[in-house]
Every structure is written in structure tokens, then in C-alpha cells.
């Protein structure tokens, strides 16, 4: 379970006195707790591993945007810090699929959902998100889906 893996990573980072890793794992755990609390308020279950993967993807995307902003502003040390956090977060995510594999999975999802045109794009994306959480960049995948459904 991903929660256990994060907990173990936190303990290991404490023992090894890895401050960057420790603070990043704490940020991840805080984001998960926040979502748990929000779900509890809505009467939902605590977050699942798939939800945690979505949280991790969002955190990576935020840091990529921040790193670019810092780089453009001439703050290389802050951009480096963001990239280090990205590497740590990605360590908890499954291996990303290659572009060729993503292309084939999209074609399979189009066939499975019976998508006929752009109006069915949501169906295709839903199939991909359900079957391959955390394994692909869904922003890029949506562009490919859009091209294939034209």
C-alpha cells in the first residue's frame, strides 16, 4: 500500500537526516491527510492508492510549473530545489509509460469506449484514467486523443 511506503520513506529520511526528502514526504502526507479530511466531511472513504497517485501527479505538475517560473526569473537555486522534489515524488509513482505504449493504449480505449468523435473524448479519458492511473501524463494523452478523434 502506498501509505505504508510513504510512512517507511519518512522514517528512512529521518534516520538518514535527508532534509529535502523528509520535507517532501511530509508535504505528500499532508496533501493526503487534507484529502482524507475533505472526504470525511463529504461522507466518503479515505483516499485510495489511485487517489494518492492523482495527488502525486498534481504535486509534480505544480513543481514543474514553479521550476519553470523560477528558471525564467533567474532563480536557479529555487528551480533546482523544485526539480529535486519532483524526483522524490516521482519515486513513489509507477513507471511512466512510453509514448508508443500510450498511443496504443489510447487506440484501445477509443475502441473500448466506442468513441466516434470529439464529443466522446471524455469517455476515452475516463477509460484511460481508470485503467492507468499515474502511468501517463493525461494532459499530453488528451492531445493525442483529440488528434485521433478528429
pLDDT tens digit at each of 150 positions of the chain: 889 999 999 999 999 999 999 999 999 999 999 999 998 888 888 888 888 988 998 999 999 999 999 999 999 999 999 999 999 999 998 888 888 888 888 888 888 888 888 888 888 888 888 888 777 878 888 888 888 887
Name residue, grid cell 489510447: 106
Opening angle at CA 105, ends 99 and 110, nearest 5? 125
> Quick one: 10 exposed, middle or buried, by C-beta within 10 A (0-12, 13-18, 19+)?
middle
Q: Which domains does the chain have, with CATH numbers?
A: 2-90 (1.10.1510.10), 99-149 (1.10.10.410)
The whole model's pTM is what? 0.74
Amino acid at each position: 500500500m502506498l501509505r505504508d511506503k510513504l510512512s517507511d520513506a519518512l522514517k528512512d529520511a529521518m534516520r538518514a537526516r535527508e532534509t529535502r526528502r523528509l520535507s517532501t514526504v511530509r508535504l505528500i502526507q499532508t496533501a493526503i491527510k487534507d484529502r482524507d479530511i475533505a472526504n470525511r466531511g463529504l461522507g466518503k472513504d479515505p483516499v485510495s492508492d489511485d487517489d494518492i497517485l492523482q495527488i502525486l501527479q498534481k504535486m509534480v505538475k505544480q513543481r514543474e510549473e514553479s521550476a519553470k517560473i523560477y528558471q525564467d526569473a533567474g532563480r536557479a537555486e529555487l528551480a533546482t530545489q523544485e526539480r529535486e522534489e519532483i524526483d522524490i515524488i516521482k519515486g513513489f509513482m509507477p513507471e511512466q509509460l512510453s509514448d508508443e505504449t500510450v498511443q496504443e493504449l489510447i487506440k484501445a480505449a477509443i475502441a473500448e469506449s466506442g468513441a466516434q468523435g470529439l464529443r466522446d473524448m471524455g469517455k476515452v479519458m475516463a477509460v484511460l484514467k481508470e485503467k492507468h492511473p499515474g502511468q501517463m501524463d493525461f494532459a499530453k494523452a488528451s492531445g493525442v486523443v483529440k488528434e485521433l478523434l478528429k
